[in-house]
Amino acid sequence: MARHSVCEQVDFAPVVLRGLAELGPFDLSEADLALELGLSAWMRFSATTLDDARSTMLHIRTALLEAGEMDSHSEPIPFSGRSPRLDMLHLAGYLGNLVERAAWSAQCDPEVIVERTIERLAA
């Protein structure tokens, strides 16, 4: 994972995508301390609020599906509403696993699909 100084602010989408690819895949039936700490750090480094993080992660989902040439109508959307903290953790875990599925669909490495997704988000 790229290192950043304490004063340097980073963009949330690229750092969360690269981090999820590095940490995943995730077993969403169990607590994952690395995922929770990673998500917290990525939000703090990028000065991203919980609402902005959720919105950005839903945009990441769309871009990942496009980069992986996947059918967005057949891909589930994670439920939300139980608690903001759990909702974010489940969405992050879902996206980490989606990186793997999108890479498989596009027949490339997860790191490649992550960079393709970042390019789509920047366009």
pLDDT value for 93:
92
pLDDT in tens, the chain (123 residues): 455 555 566 899 999 999 999 988 888 777 788 999 999 999 999 999 999 999 999 999 999 999 999 998 888 888 777 788 888 999 999 999 999 999 999 999 999 999 999 999 998
Whether the bond into 110 is cis, omega within 30 of 0 = no
Residue type, 114: V
- DSSP-based helix, strand, coil % in the chain, nearest 5: 65, 0, 35
CA-closest candidate to residue 54, choices 30, 90, 22: 90
Phi then psi dihedrals of residue 78, to 5 deg:
-60, 140
* 82 three-state secondary structure: coil
pLDDT value for 48:
95
Residue with tokens 């027949």: 107
Question: Which residues make Cβ contacts (< 8 Å) with residue 123, sequence separation at least 6?
Answer: none
